[in-house]
Structure 1
C-alpha cells in the first residue's frame, strides 16, 4: 500500500469516525460538513473527495455503527461464556458508556429517532442497526432454549432504549447502572 493510499484511507476513516461522534453529539440536522471536517482534522474541501453529500457521510456513519456492533458481538461470542453471559456482557458494555449516554443519549437510538422523520432511505439504514441488536439478543435467548426469544429480545432492547432516554433526560448515569442490574437478574430468571 502506497503512502498516498494510506493517507486517503486514513482521511476517509477519520471523517467517518468524526461523523459518528459529531452526529451523536449534535444530531444530523445541526451537524455541518465543516463540523465533521474540523473534528477529523481534514480540510473541508477534502471532504467532497470522499463524500459528495452530507447524506453520504451520514450513511457511512450508519455503516460504521453496524460494523462496530458486529465486531463487538463477535468479540462477545468469543470471550463470553454462554448466552446469559453474552447478554450480561452486552449490558455491562452499555453501563460502561453511561456517561456518554447521560450526555447525548444512545448513539443508535438517537440516530434512529432523528432519521425516522425522513423518508430518504437513511431511516431504514439506521433501523437496520437497531435490528442487528434485536437479532443478536434473539439468538442469545434462543440459545437459552426460549421459544419466546424474539419477544424477549424486543423487551431487552426496549428496556435499554427506555433507560437510555431517561438517563439522557435526567443526565443521571446511575439510572442506567440500576436498570442494567435489574436486567441481569431478569436474564438469570429466564434460564
Structure 2
C-alpha cells in the first residue's frame, strides 16, 4: 500500500512539474535592443535598454514572456556631439516618445506557436506612450539566446510628428511611419 501511494505521488509530481512553465530572467546587461527609423533623406539608428524581462518555457518550448524597456535610455548611435544630443532630446520629447510622462514601454508575449525547431510565431501586446496594440512577430531561440526583428508603425502609438500619413507638404522632411527594432536577448 505504501509503495502504491509513493508511486502515485511520484507520478503526480512528475506530471505537475512537467506542465509548469519555467520563467527565465533576461540578462539586461548583455541583451541589446537596436532601433532604426527612416526618413525621405536617410535614416537614424540607435539603442534603447531593457529594464527587465522574462521568457517562459514549458520544457524547451517558449510559451510566454514580458519585457519592460527603459525609454529614458533611448539614444542615437549614428550621430555624435551636438547633433546626437538634439536628436536624443527630440526623440524623448512629446513629439515622439514623451519619456517624461512615459519612461517605460512594455511588451508581453501571450502566445508562442512553434514554426520550426528553434523558431516561433509570437503574439502579444506592446505598450508605447500609454497606448497598447497587438503585435505579431517571429522569434528564434537557440540555447540561452533569443532574437527577433520587429517592424512597428509609430503612428498607432500617437507618434505622428513628421508623418506623411497625417501632414501634407512635408517634402524631404517626411519621416516614415514604420521603424525597426532588432532584439538580441540572453537569459
Q: Structure 2 length normalisation: TM-score?
A: 0.25
Between Structure 1 and Structure 2, which shows a larger proportion of strand residues? 2
Structure possessing the higher radius of gyration over alpha carbons: 2
Between Structure 1 and Structure 2, which shows a larger proportion of helix residues? 1
